[in-house]
């Protein structure tokens, strides 16, 4: 199997129509771009990335509700396609590269600057042997638990006492700054870790993020109840309720393999 730069499948994300049209026009003149999708907000971008699997995203940094960095947070930096951030504010450059951006375009940019960004994209895509090797390692780790051991218990300290909390007993996890609150059978334990860090070390078949500040144990779900504006509320077996935001609904649907 080979992949050439002529297989560029791009997604253009910007809440301003003129900005999207300019990028679409530039991409249409590049013979190596085979298809182009567009999204006008972060939530639509998340769904397009999950459903259409583009290999390039040109992503506006500033958008209402879910911005560019929010899109990366929802998908996960390790799962993002090659990403070129586009913004009118140069103070976002450092944060863009912290999010593993391949390039960064500062509005207004010239045609030549866009061409340079696309050249970097093509070079990265053409480095196939490295990409396929990395992907094969990920697939092997996913199918061989012995190569990647997720945490099966967490150490929590409170009042001079050290406890071991089994992850299978956690109902849901709530973000609390540089800590998380573990909700376990009606009790709460504070654990030093950000939610993103902890989720990365827990079995994705068991835990899933449903909100920027919450993740749940799928085995603890009793039912889902619809709310307004496409949001749902998860009702857990112990009676706890957690809101599924529209942004993270797409991830839950993908994990369940069906629409809500």
Residues lower than pLDDT 50 in the chain: 1-5, 128-130, 133, 137, 141, 145-147
Looking at the structure, tell me whether residues 137 and 165 fall in a common domain. Answer: no
- Residue-range definition of the domain harbouring residue 221: 153-256
Number of domains in the chain: 2
- At 113, which helix (H) or strand (E)? helix 111-126
- Please, is 124 exposed, middle or buried when counting C-beta atoms within 10 Å of its C-beta (0-12, 13-18, 19+)? middle
Omega into 108 within 30° of 0, i.e. cis? yes
Q: Is 147 part of any domain?
A: no
Longest dimension (CA), the chain: 65
Q: Which residue has the tokens 């945490």?
A: 151
The CB-side HSE value for 199 (13 A sphere, CA atoms) comes to 23
CATH assignment of the domain containing 163: 2.40.50.1020
Give the domain-ending residue among 83, 118, 142: 142
Task: Measure the CA–CA gap between 164 and 176, rounded to whole angstroms.
Answer: 20
Looking at the structure, tell me whether residues 93 and 221 fall in a common domain. Answer: no
Looking at the structure, tell me whether residues 27 and 134 fall in a common domain. Answer: yes
Task: Measure the CA–CA gap between 101 and 84, rounded to whole angstroms.
Answer: 6
Q: Decide if 121 contacts 82 (C-beta within 8 A).
A: yes
Question: What local confidence, expressed as pLDDT, does residue 1 receive?
Answer: 37
Q: Which residue has the tokens 């992503």?
A: 59
Task: Give 71's contacts (C-beta < 8 A, 6+ positions apart).
Answer: 13, 42, 45, 46, 49, 59
Question: What local confidence, expressed as pLDDT, does residue 76 receive?
Answer: 83
Q: What token pair was written down for 183? A: 């909700």
Looking at the structure, tell me whether residues 117 and 157 fall in a common domain. Answer: no
Task: Measure the CA–CA gap between 63 and 14, rounded to whole angstroms.
Answer: 7
Question: What local confidence, expressed as pLDDT, does residue 45 receive?
Answer: 94
Looking at the structure, tell me whether residues 129 and 159 fall in a common domain. Answer: no
Nearest to 39 by CA among 12, 9, 67: 12
- Please, is 93 exposed, middle or buried when counting C-beta atoms within 10 Å of its C-beta (0-12, 13-18, 19+)? middle
Give the domain-ending residue among 119, 142, 165: 142
CATH assignment of the domain containing 50: 3.40.50.2300
Question: What local confidence, expressed as pLDDT, does residue 21 receive?
Answer: 94
Question: What local confidence, expressed as pLDDT, does residue 229 receive?
Answer: 76
Q: Write the pLDDT tens digit of every residue in 227-251.
A: 877 788 999 999 999 999 888 888 8
Give the domain-ending residue among 83, 111, 142: 142
Q: Write the pLDDT tens digit of every residue in 131-180.
A: 554 555 455 545 554 445 788 999 998 778 888 999 999 999 999 888 99
Q: Is 148 part of any domain?
A: no
DSSP secondary structure string for all residues of 180-246: EEEEETTEEEEEES-HHHHHTTS-TTTEEEEETTEEEEGGGEEEEEE-STT-EEEEETTS-EEEE-H
pTM (global) more than 0.85: no
Residue 236 β-bridge partners: 221
């Amino acid at each position: 199997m080979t992949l050439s730069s002529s297989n560029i499948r791009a997604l253009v994300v910007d809440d301003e129509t003129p900005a999207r049209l300019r990028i679409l026009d530039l991409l249409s003149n590049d013979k190596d771009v085979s298809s182009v999708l567009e999204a006008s907000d972060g939530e639509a971008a998340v769904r397009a990335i999950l459903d259409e699997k583009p290999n390039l995203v040109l992503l506006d940094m500033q958008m209402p509700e879910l911005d560019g960095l929010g899109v990366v947070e929802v998908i996960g930096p390790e799962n993002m396609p090659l990403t070129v951030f586009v913004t009118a504010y140069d103070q976002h450059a450092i944060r863009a590269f912290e999010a593993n951006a391949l390039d960064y375009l500062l509005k207004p940019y010239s045609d030549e600057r866009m061409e340079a960004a696309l050249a970097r994209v093509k070079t990265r895509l053409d480095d196939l042997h490295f990409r396929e090797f990395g992907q094969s390692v990920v697939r092997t780790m996913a199918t061989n638990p012995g190569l990647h051991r997720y945490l099966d218990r967490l150490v929590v300290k409170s009042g001079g006492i050290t406890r071991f909390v089994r992850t299978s007993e956690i109902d849901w996890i709530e973000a609390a700054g540089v800590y998380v609150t573990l909700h376990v059978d009606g009790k709460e334990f504070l654990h030093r870790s950000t939610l993103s860090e902890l989720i990365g070390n827990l079995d994705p078949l068991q835990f899933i993020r449903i909100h920027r500040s919450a993740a749940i144990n799928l085995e603890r779900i009793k039912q889902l109840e619809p709310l307004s504006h496409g949001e749902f509320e998860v009702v857990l077996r112990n009676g706890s309720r957690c809101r599924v935001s529209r942004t993270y609904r797409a991830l839950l649907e993908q994990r369940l393999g069906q629409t809500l």
